[in-house]
Structure 1
Amino acid sequence: MIVRSRAPLRLGLAGGGTDVAPYCDLFGGHVMNVTIDRYAYTSLSPSQDGRCRFSTLDSGAHEEWHCGDVIPTHGPLQLLKGVYNRIVHEFLGGDAAALHVRTFSDAPPGSGLGSSSTMVVALLQAFVEYFNLPLGEYEVAKLAYEIERKDLGLAGGKQDQYAATFGGFNFMEFYANERVVVNPLRIKDWVWAELEASLVLYFTGVSRASADIIDQQSRNVGQSKQSSIDAMHSLKREAVQMKECVLRGDLRGLEVTLQAGWEAKKKTATSISNPLIENVERVAFANGARAAKVSGAGGGGFMMFLCDPEERLRLSRALLEQGGSIMDFHFTAQGAIAWRIT
């Protein structure tokens, strides 16, 4: 038997960063995001020789371990090994399972599309199917968060795990004691289509480690740096405004909110923007863009631009001249899924 799974990547539309402690614990966070038809994939199959095998098919990394060994979680395969260890110890009573775990993703780490957290969700969804574990969406997302942030010690927030698990347009609320509320939004078909046609997703060609940016944001809040806290408050308000604009179909208001959120985001940490990003922004606005934002923590990865659909081709051509690439995509309402091949 083989179990396969996939989980969708996401675009962070507004409020990103307010899902990170200590801000969300002190003030509560609001985030607006949407998943797209680009995915992280996992495949689980039995290993017949009693060894555990971990492989990332896109990067070519591979490790093998005797299943009775303590499997360390450092290195390029830490996500795969971290999920495996948690499942074995929490749900299998410590009895190691001889499995071959394979993964690949439609986006590189550091893309700003939540690729690492999405991969953890895809891995968990495959294990849930393989072992018939009684976990629903909230439990899968929470467990993914715990594995990534606590077991592996990777800095970041909570929105990515919940976006990948639930899918679709969601307005998310984050509170103290790890309480999370996911509010799925019912988007009118014409709004969905117009927004999809108006968004251009551009990869800068530079992947970045988000941990340093997130650490700086957390330190600024923890040290009560008022300018950073005020910027986070603005991000939170703009997530609410974004939700209202999307539900009403106020696309001009959405443009204003997206741009205001990006300007506030840049005030939460110094490394969120840089000369490369600023240059791409200038080119975009000179070629039809009405609003711009970096998806994710910042510093690189993917940038998103809103424009009139008639300007999409001109904008895309101008961006391609900057040396990056355009990713075609569609929104998707489906979250993480898994299935069996017998």
Structure 2
Amino acid sequence: MAMIVTRTPFRVSFLGGGSDIEEWFSRHGGAVLSTAVDKYCYVTVRDLPPYFDYSIRVSYSRVETVGRLANVRHPLVREALRLYRKRDVEVHYDADLPGRSGLGTSSAFAVGLLSALENGAGRFVSKRALADKAIHLERRVLKERGGWQDQIAVAFGGLNHVRFSASGYTVEPVCLDAAFKKTLIECLHLVYIPTRRISGKVSFSNRTPTRRFVPQLRFLQDSVEEGIRLLKDQDIQGFGALMHECWLRKRTISRVSNAAVDAVYRAGLRGGALGGKLLGAGAGGYMLFVCRPTDAAAFKRRIHPLNLVPIRFDDEGTSVIYYSTGKGA
């Protein structure tokens, strides 16, 4: 039986979130600064042997065994299999971190699944094509609310400046001095706040941008260029302060925070963080802080160590890590 396994990174978004929503960037343009990190989801797709009383098996946080595609409850899996007219198949999802927590996990699943289906059919597909297909699946077919940055970040990998316009998007890698890039990752601290949510239900993207939000969204969008300049100048303090200002502004236009999130953010600042933000749509999940290297020890003492998640940059993006045709030698 043929089997393929893909590995797709999760992502951390620094600046510009919200301007990647099509309702916004089709009129105003958009920009984000984000990176893929070394926490992954793994998607296995294999042909199902003809010995079972079901034709489709899907394993994620639950296990589904069904005889008809229409009976698959996971919408992303169901519609992906429909697009590829795939039957007699098993799909298995594993991940390093919990889903629905602000790291682009659902889009990583989409990109990894589409990569497995494309490569399993014997077709080479570019990372851009995978991002485009995932955007189409999530935003057009499933009609899930949200932006475009997640699919792009996890497909391409790396630290990127992504620009959006009515005609599409461009991806420009942000090149930093190797020594500073190592310092930068040591300054980033990912903290888990154990409250999961479905992003489309709480995010700014759940409503059309109104006139009163335009100045704040423009500031968030324009902050990307400033953030890149600060990184190239190796100005960690300025970068942290910019993230802090953007977080304060985003809280005014979106229901991204709550008492638990605010308490963690205040604790981080008291521990020496220069700034930070809640990742993704908000209301729980992962919060990113930026600290000076000299303040890392004090920060870790202030934040419970079990909630800290070590990260490194991922420069590869989605990849196939195992492929077997199922045919003998």
TM-score by length of 1: 0.89
Alpha-carbon distance in 2 for matches of 1:318, 1:261: 23
Q: Compared with structure 1, are the counterparts of its residues 220 and 78 closer, same or farther at alpha carbon in structure 2 (3 Å cutoff)?
A: closer
Alpha-carbon distance in 2 for matches of 1:289, 1:128: 43
- 1:335 aligned partner: 317
Residue 62 of structure 1, CA deviation: 1.6
- 2:70 aligned partner: 71
- 2:228 aligned partner: 243
- 1:180 aligned partner: 169
SS state at 1:267 partner: coil
Letter in 2 for 1:243: I
- 2:44 aligned partner: 43
1:52 to 37, 45, 56: 56
Q: Which range moves more in the overlay, 78-87 or 179-188? A: 78-87
The question of whether the paired residues in 2 share the 8 Å contact of 1:79 and 1:120 is answered with yes
- Off by >4 Å, runs of 4+ in structure 1: none
The question of whether the paired residues in 1 share the 8 Å contact of 2:236 and 2:292 is answered with no
Residue 18 of structure 1, CA deviation: 0.5
Superposed, 1:45-124 pairs within 5 Å as: 45-49=46-50, 51-56=55-60, 59=61, 61-66=62-67, 69-72=68-71, 75=73, 77-88=74-85, 96-124=86-114
- 1:92 aligned partner: none
SS state at 1:120 partner: helix
Aligned: 1:225 with 2:211: yes
5+ residue gaps, structure 2, are 325-329
The question of whether the paired residues in 1 share the 8 Å contact of 2:115 and 2:125 is answered with no
SS state at 2:84 partner: helix
Residue 287 of structure 1, CA deviation: 1.3
1:208-260: CA deviation from partner (whole Å, max 9, x where unpaired)? 2211233x445351xx332x111110110111111222233222221122112
Q: Which range moves more in the overlay, 23-32 or 250-259? A: 250-259
Alpha-carbon distance in 1 for matches of 2:234, 2:295: 20
- 2:298 aligned partner: 314
Q: Compared with structure 1, are the counterparts of its residues 17 and 72 closer, same or farther at alpha carbon in structure 2 (3 Å cutoff)?
A: farther
Alpha-carbon distance in 1 for matches of 2:134, 2:25: 18
Alpha-carbon distance in 1 for matches of 2:208, 2:294: 41
- 1:31 aligned partner: 32
The question of whether the paired residues in 2 share the 8 Å contact of 1:245 and 1:251 is answered with yes
- 2:327 aligned partner: none
- 1:2 aligned partner: 3
Alpha-carbon distance in 2 for matches of 1:102, 1:239: 37
Letter in 1 for 2:180: V
- 1:93 aligned partner: none
Two-structure CA RMSD over aligned residues (Å): 1.8
Q: Which range moves more in the overlay, 163-172 or 254-263? A: 254-263
1:262-291: CA deviation from partner (whole Å, max 9, x where unpaired)? 12211222x211111111111111111111
Residue 147 of structure 1, CA deviation: 0.8
TM-score by length of 2: 0.92
SS state at 2:315 partner: coil
